[in-house]
Every structure is written in structure tokens, then in C-alpha cells.
Amino acid sequence: MGSELLDALVALETEKGISREVLIEAIEAALVTAYKRNFNQAQNVRVDLNLDKGTMLVFSRKDVVDEVTDDRLEISLEDAQMINPVFEIGDIVEQEVTPSNFGRIAAQTAKQVVTQRVREAERGKIYEEYVEREDDIVNGVVERLDARNIYVGIGKIEAVLPVNEQIPGEAYNPHDRINVYITKVERTTRGPQVVVSRTHPGLLRRLFEKEVPEIFEGLVEIKSIAREAGDRSKISVYTETEEIDPVGSCVGTKGGRVQTIVNELNGEKIDIVEWSEDPIVFVANALSPSKVLDVQVNEEEKSTTVVVPDYQLSLAIGKRGQNARLAAKLTGWKIDIKSETDARELGIYPSETSAYVQEQFAQEDVTVDLYQDDEE
């Protein structure tokens, strides 16, 4: 068994990266268990596996004591010194107890241990490979479906796309290629499990990084994302480079860049707005494509009151309140929208910020309305 096992361990060390010493330790520990189980022994034993010599020996281990209470674990000083006069109290005496028919059991045990360790090592490598790819996008193939989950092949492993991570209304069929976002990688008793998503805001971020070179190169930064997957999303972008238009970079010529992402997400609409550290400007931008007359900020409550033209009220609120809801999520500010008429009746418009807001948006139209269908 020695030379064959040695060759196998050397090959595993080379091909699988499993240390020979680690495998030998695991085999020796398993052989101890096998010895106790097969030969009904409860004593302390040690297995010495010498692959170079091709030998495998079992040694009993007993403590040297004055008075023996369990002869399976202890040996008297007198008996120990009959074996070797140098033994003293507290020493350990080892004697070979290798059964004559232990070779077959040892071979089976070694094979089982090696097989198990190879499986564990391969699972460990897969785990390490994919845990480093958490929060990243991968392209996979739909392999199978059940009542709740979609299973997507992403290389060496089959990832799980749970029902709550699937875009509502999106159909998945075997052999379809889809982009998914890795949300979680964890160890389980059945090996690594990778959970992926089609609804996570991170998927949108990675798609823009792939499609927009200015984002990939760090010239344009995505500051925040608000997403209602399958329906509509908003992203805010920013650049410190004056020569670059952050919104225009993401939209692309004739809307080509953003349209590629919209197509990937099966028609999910995407509003791209410019981020600003000034909450007045940022909230006004976030309500795109609606025009804004005034933004009044309450710093303590982190809330805003926004005044829009009467004819733009429905557009600002959006279908089922979606535009206002996404804008609030994008900015982190509560947003209360008033029509110009109502604001005047309440005596809150015009205010001291009205001229500032209109001045900010008089020079250029910062909104990019690609859809024109957002009214309630």
C-alpha cells in the first residue's frame, strides 16, 4: 500500500494543492478510529504511517503510574522498567500492537479519507473562488427550474436565483443566458451555495460599469441607486471633471448606452440624474422628469417640501406615487410635493429659496426624459 499511496498523495499535492502532510495526518487519525472500531479496543493508540518505507504500524500508548486503575490506559512503573529501565512516573510507554489483518482495513480507510479530503478541497477552492466574487455580476445559463427557484450555471457551480430575487414578469427558460448579481456565498454540508439576484440594485450598478467606460475608469461615480425591479429605477451620478457630462455619459449617443441596459432588464425604465451635495438641487434633480419651482428643506426632520407647476403635479408624483417614492429613496430625504396653486394658498410659495431653485435650472435642462409616460 505504501508506494501506491505515496504516488497518489504526491499526485494530489500537485494537481489539487492538498498538502501531503495534511493528508497523512488525516489518514493516521482515521486509522486510529478504524482500529478501535474494528478490533473493539478502547486504549490510546497511535498510528505511524511511513510511506517511504511502505510500513504502517499501530502503537498502544500507556501512562506510567504508581498504581494502575485501568490497564488499557496505564502501566505500572515496575512493568514499564521491565521494558526499558529508563522509564519514570509520568512517561508514556509505546508498544506495537499492529493486527496481522489490519492492512485491508487500512487500505479502505486511506481511500475513504483521501476521497473525502479531495472533495472538501475542491469545495473549498470553489468557495474561495466565488466568495471573492460577491457583489459582482456574472453571466450564466439557466439550467433548470422548480416551483420557487431558478438554477443558473455560472461555471463550476449551479447558483440559486430565488423567487424573491427574480424580476416580476420576467420569463426564464432552460438554456437562456442571463446576467445575475452574486449576493451571497456560503458553506453548507452539501458544498458551497451561491445565491444570485436579478433585482438587486448592485446589478444595475455593475451593468452601468460594463456599459459606460467613464464609470468603469472612475471618471464618473454612481452615488446612489433606487430601484423597483422590472418597472423603474433612478440613479444619481457625479464627476469632478468639468469636461465630462456625467448624465450624458451614462445616456450615451441617442440614448444607446442606457438603452442597452434597459434591454438587458427587459424594458425596466431608468432615470439618470446628476448628484449634488446641495439637497435642494439633488431633490429637484431626483424628481426628473418633472420641473421643480421650489425646494424647501427641513434639516432637522430631513424632509423637503417641493413645489411644482400645476400641470406637472401628476408627473412629479408618478404612477402610484412611484416617481416621488424613488426620488425619496435616491436622495435619502422625505419629499412632500405641492402644486403651485396649493403652495400659494398655503402661503409657502414663493419662498426665500424659490429664486435660487429657478436660477439653478434656468441655465440648462438637467432632466433626461426618455419615456414621457409617467403621469398618474
| pLDDT per residue as tens digits for the range 350-361 | 888 888 888 887
Q: Residue 302: left (phi > 0), alpha (psi -120 to 50), or beta?
A: left
Domain containing residue 57: CATH number: 3.30.1480.10
The share of the chain scoring above pLDDT 70, in percent, equals: 90
List pLDDT tens digits, range 279-332. 999 999 999 899 999 999 999 999 999 999 999 999 999 999 999 999 999 999
Same-domain pairing of 99 and 154? no
Chosen domain end from 243, 260, 275: 275
**7 confidence band (pLDDT: 50, 70, 90):** low
Same-domain pairing of 165 and 266? no
- Predicted confidence at residue 178, as pLDDT, reads 94
State the cell numbers at 347: 402661503
Chosen domain end from 222, 243, 275: 275
Q: Does 342 score more than 60 pLDDT?
A: yes
CB 45 within 8 A of CB 60: yes
Domain containing residue 224: CATH number: 3.30.300.20
Same-domain pairing of 217 and 100? no
Q: Between 30 and 232, where is the model more confident?
A: 232
Q: Residue 155: left (phi > 0), alpha (psi -120 to 50), or beta?
A: left
Q: Does 374 score more than 60 pLDDT?
A: no
List pLDDT tens digits, range 178-225. 999 999 999 888 889 999 999 999 999 999 999 999 999 999 999 999
Place of cell 419629499: 335
Q: Cα–Cα distance between 216 and 206 in angstroms, integer?
A: 9
**CA atoms lying within 13 Å on the CB side of residue 61:** 11
Same-domain pairing of 147 and 257? no
End-to-end CA distance of the chain: 79
The chain-wide mean pLDDT, for the chain, equals: 87
Range of the domain at 118: 2-130
List pLDDT tens digits, range 19-51. 777 777 777 777 777 777 777 666 788 888 776
Q: Does 165 score more than 50 pLDDT?
A: yes
Domain containing residue 163: CATH number: 2.40.50.140
Same-domain pairing of 306 and 368? yes
The total domain count for the chain is: 4
Same-domain pairing of 116 and 15? yes
Same-domain pairing of 6 and 125? yes
Q: Does 98 score more than 90 pLDDT?
A: no
Chosen domain end from 197, 227, 243: 197
**8 confidence band (pLDDT: 50, 70, 90):** low
Place of cell 420557487: 148
Nearest-Å Rg of the Cα atoms of the chain is: 35
- Predicted confidence at residue 368, as pLDDT, reads 47
The answer to which of 132-136, 211-215, 302-306, 366-370 has the lowest mean pLDDT is 366-370
Q: Does 339 score more than 90 pLDDT?
A: yes
Q: Cα–Cα distance between 342 and 349 in angstroms, integer?
A: 9
Same-domain pairing of 179 and 216? no
Q: Does 121 score more than 90 pLDDT?
A: no
Same-domain pairing of 98 and 206? no
Same-domain pairing of 10 and 59? yes
- Predicted confidence at residue 248, as pLDDT, reads 94
Q: Looking at the whole model, is its pTM more than 0.75? A: no
HEC readout, 244-296: CCHHHHHHCHHHHHHHHHHHHCCCCEEEEEECCCCHHHHHHHHCCCCCCCEEE
Same-domain pairing of 221 and 251? yes
